């Protein structure tokens, strides 16, 4: 898919965030409660992400809230800020995404907050309850573990929502922003093929992640197109963690006929492969070429500097913020799916395989 521009910037005008009364024709909590056959406090618990509501009842209320376009009245008007939702606050991704969001919303006199879902686990109040209690005017979900059920929970609250790099197709009509995972992985694979590598191993990300599946399938497609199908014995999948790159790298480098190059699902996995190669007494790139994905800052600090596919995280955050501002202003976005271009950055971790010359 060709990269798509996030579109023109919105006017430098703060969205209408003032307190407002309920307009004629808008439904009240009491009306939703009557339609759902429950009490008003039960509807309020669903609106605020609180526990104590049966799953079937919660789903029925959420469906009614969505169908009738429920909006919060002035008595509970939200605060002037947007929330970015992460699952594990990995600084190498989160900081750049937050900067991109802030670049845009600051022009509209909005603040930026964040919620780490993983850090909220085990607390008395759920992450949803904590987030909804802050009354953000909009939410950006920036982690692939965010589920359709969680999307529904936020959608029921009447808060505009945008997804960044979702694990699958976003819930309902939720707009989303991602990088061009497919073309990035194809570029990385072709780079190794052009160097002369034919025994290429792949360490992919978790199979429930859309971006991980895209990257893995793109590698397969590029190699099949080149007439060098992927050897299934050289494919592993795991979490986007250093530890998984280390463990899976050990497996692949311990094979009798080990790969001469490894394509990794992200940079953290690639760093794990670096350590696996060190433990095996292999040199990078003389004995093993390694390619990562993400382009985090540490990728050019390691030794040797890592060849990787860079994602424009700051621009992704900015594009998500533009979509969110349009939703807050009540304007349907011109595009509900935006993909921003990735860039292959060739550094010192890749070279022709031993006793092989580059192929044109």
pLDDT tens per residue across span 41-97: 898 888 877 778 898 998 888 888 888 877 766 444 445 799 998 877 666 788 899
Report domain extents, the chain: 29-179+314-341, 181-311
pLDDT above 50 (res 7): no
Q: What is the pLDDT of residue 356?
A: 52
Per DSSP, helices labelled H in 111-254 are: 117-120, 127-133, 148-156, 181-195, 210-225, 242-253
- Residue 13 binned pLDDT confidence (cut-offs 50, 70, 90): very low
Q: Which CATH class, in words, describes the domain spanning 29-179+314-341?
A: alpha beta
Q: What is the mean pLDDT of residues 262-274?
A: 97
| Rounded Cα–Cα distance for residues 251 and 229 (Å) | 20
Which residues fall within 8 angstroms of residue 293, CB to CB, at 6 or more apart? Answer: 184, 185, 188, 215, 264, 265, 266, 267, 270, 308, 309, 311
pTM above 0.75, yes or no: yes
Longest dimension (CA), the chain: 78
Three-class SS of 127-143: HHHHHHHCCCCEEEECC
Q: What is the pLDDT of residue 334?
A: 84
| Rounded Cα–Cα distance for residues 39 and 185 (Å) | 52
Q: Would you give the DSSP letter of residue 202?
A: E
29-179+314-341 and 181-311 share one CATH topology? yes
pLDDT above 90 (res 165): no
CATH of region 181-311 = 3.40.50.2300
């Amino acid at each position: 898919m060709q990269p798509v521009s996030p579109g023109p910037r919105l006017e430098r005008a703060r969205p209408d965030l003032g307190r407002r009364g309920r307009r004629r024709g808008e439904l009240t909590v009491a009306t939703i409660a009557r339609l759902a056959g429950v009490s008003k406090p039960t509807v309020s618990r669903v609106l605020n992400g609180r526990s104590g509501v049966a799953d079937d009842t919660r789903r029925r209320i959420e469906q009614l809230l969505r169908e009738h376009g429920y909006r919060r009245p002035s008595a509970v008007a939200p605060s002037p800020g947007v929330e970015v939702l992460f699952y594990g606050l990995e600084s190498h991704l989160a900081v750049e995404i937050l900067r991109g969001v802030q670049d845009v919303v600051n022009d509209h006199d909005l603040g930026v907050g964040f919620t780490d879902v993983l850090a909220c686990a085990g607390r008395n109040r759920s992450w949803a309850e904590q987030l909804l209690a802050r009354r953000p005017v909009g939410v950006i979900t920036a982690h692939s573990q965010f589920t359709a059920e969680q999307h529904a929970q936020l959608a029921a609250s009447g808060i505009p929502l945008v997804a960044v790099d979702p694990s699958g197709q976003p819930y309902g009509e939720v707009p989303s922003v991602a990088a061009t995972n497919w073309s990035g992985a194809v570029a990385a694979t072709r780079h190794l093929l052009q160097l002369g590598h034919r025994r290429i191993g792949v360490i992919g990300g978790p199979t429930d992640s859309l971006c991980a599946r895209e990257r893995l399938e793109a590698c397969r497609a590029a190699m099949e197109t080149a007439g060098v199908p992927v050897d299934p014995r050289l494919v592993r999948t795991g979490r986007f963690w250093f530890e998984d790159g280390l463990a899976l790298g050990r497996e692949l480098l311990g094979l009798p006929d080990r790969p001469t190059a490894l394509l990794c699902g992200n940079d953290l996995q690639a760093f794990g492969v670096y350590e696996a190669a060190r433990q095996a007494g292999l040199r990078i790139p003389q004995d093993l070429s390694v390619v990562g994905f993400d382009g985090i800052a540490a990728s050019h600090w390691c030794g040797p500097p890592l060849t990787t596919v860079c994602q424009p995280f700051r621009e992704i955050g900015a594009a998500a913020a533009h979509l969110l501002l349009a939703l807050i202003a009540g304007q349907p976005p011109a595009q509900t799916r935006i993909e921003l271009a990735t860039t292959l950055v060739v550094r010192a971790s890749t070279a022709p395989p031993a006793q092989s010359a580059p192929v044109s």
